[in-house]
Homo-oligomer: A and B are copies of this chain.
Amino acid sequence: MRGAVIHAPGDVRIETLDDPKIIRPTDAIIRTAVTCVCGSDLWPYRGLEPVGEAHPMGHEYVGFVEEVGSEVTAVRPGQFVIGSFATSDNTCANCRNGFPSNCLNREFMSTCQADYVRIPNAQGTLVATDGIPAEELWPSLLAVSDVMGTGWWAAEAAEVRPGSTVVVVGDGAVGLCAVIAAKELGAERVIAMSRHESRQNLALRFGATDIVTERGDDGVRRIRDLTDGIGADAVLECVGTAEAMRQALHSARPGGNVGFVGVPHDVAVDGQELFFSYVGLRGGPAPVRRYLPDLIDRVVSGRINPGEVFDLTLPLGQVAEGYLAMDERRAIKTLLKP
C-alpha cells in the first residue's frame, strides 16, 4: 500500500509500505476513505519538533472496516467508521470519567496518511455510521475525528454557555471548528481573531459575530473594548505558541476560562500572574471519542459542516504538496483521497 513518510523537515514522501495486519485481537484494519494533514503535522515538518527516524504520518481518518480482531464486536467489515486520533478502550477509569484521550491503554494514531490503517483498541475507538454516508459528508466526518472534536473540547474546556461571549485565538482548522462549537453551545457573541480574509469569511459563515485583526497587546485592547472593558467569558486558544497563550489569558475576564487545545510549545504560565488574572485554564488532547456520536449526528443531520475547513483536496500521492500548501498558508487544511 501507499503511505506518507517524513524523512526530515520539509521532506514528506509517498512510499510503498507493508499492508497493516491485525497484531492483537483488539485491532481492526480499515481502508481509508479520506484522510488529511493536521496543523500539528507541521511542527516536525517545520523543524520545530525533532523528526528523528523516518516514520509514517497522519492521525485523522474515516474509512471502511476491512478486518477485525477476534475481540472486536462493536464494528464489522464493510461498515463506515470514524475514530479519534487517540485510541481508547472505553472501559478504563479515565474513559469512564469521560477522558478517553487519556485512556490507560491509549495509543496515538500516527500512520493514517495511507491506503490502509491498523486501529488499536478498535472496540472502544471506532464508531460506525448508520449505513454508508454520502461522499459529500466524508470531509465533515473526517473533521470530526480530530479538528472538530478538538474545537468542541476548546469550547467545553473554556465553559462556553448559552449567552457567553467567546474569543477564538487561532484561525486554523481547529480555531474555525471552535467557532462552530461555540455557536452550537449557545454563545451569543463569537469573536474570531484572524488577519486572513478567506479564514475570516469562513469564521463568519461558521457563526462568528466579530472579527479582530489586531494581535498581541493591540488585540487584547480590542477584545477589552468589545467586552465591557473586562474581557471575554471564554477564550479558546487554538494555536499552542507562547504568544497565543499570552493573548488568550489576557483576553479572558476575571472568573472566565481559557480552553487551550494547541499542543503548547515553549509555553510557561506564571503562577502569580494566573492567580491575579483569576482565569481558569484547562486543556489537553481532546476527548474526541466521547463527542463522536453527537458530532456525527450533527454532521449527518446537516447542522454543522466542519468539512468546509478543507480548502485543498489532493490525491494521496500528492501528500508532499499538501504539506507545503499548509506550510505556506496557501491552504487551511488539505484533504487527501486515496
Query: Inside 8 A of A242's CB, which chain B residues have their CB?
Result: 271
Distance between Cα atoms of A150 and B263 in the complex (Å): 32
Q: Residue A255 contacts which of B97, B228, B270 (CB distance < 8 angstroms)? A: B97
Contact between chains at B274 and A94 (CB < 8 Å): no
Q: How many copies does the complex hold?
A: 2
A260 at the interface (CB under 8 A from B): yes
A290 to B: closest C-beta gap in Å: 10
Q: How large is the interface on A (under 10, 10 to 19, 20 to 34, 35 or more residues)?
A: 35 or more
Contact with B along A110-132 (1 / 0, CB 8 A): 00000000000000000000000
Q: A94-B230, A230-B94, A278-B99 are in contact. Are A271 and B245 (CB under 8 A)?
A: yes
Q: Measured between alpha carbons, how far is A165 from B326 in the docked complex, in Å?
A: 45
Among residues of B, the one whose C-beta sits closest to the C-beta of A233 is: B97
Given contacts A99-B255, A102-B255, contact A280 B280 (CB under 8 A): yes
Nearest CB on B from A67, distance (A): 31
Within 8 A of B (CB), among A89-108: 93-94, 97-99, 101-102, 104
In Å, the complex CA distance between A117 and B315 comes to 75
CB distance from A283 to the nearest CB of B (A): 5
B271/A264 in contact, CB under 8 A = yes
- Residues of B with C-beta under 8 A to A287: 255
A282 and B284 in contact, given A264-B271, A264-B275 (Cβ under 8 angstroms): no
CA distance A284 to B276 in the complex (A): 5
Instruction: Give bound CA distance, A282 to B279, whole Å.
Output: 6
A5-33 vs B, Cβ < 8 Å mask (1 yes, 0 no): 00000000000000000000000000000
Across the interface, do A264 and B255 meet the contact criterion of CB distance under 8 Å? no
- A92 to chain B: closest residue by CB: B230
In chain A, positions 167-209 with a C-beta closer than 8 Å to chain B are none
List 18 interface pairs A-B (beta carbons < 8 Å), by A numbering: A93-B228, A94-B255, A97-B253, A97-B254, A99-B278, A101-B278, A102-B255, A102-B278, A104-B230, A242-B271, A255-B287, A260-B275, A264-B271, A264-B275, A274-B281, A276-B284, A277-B284, A279-B282
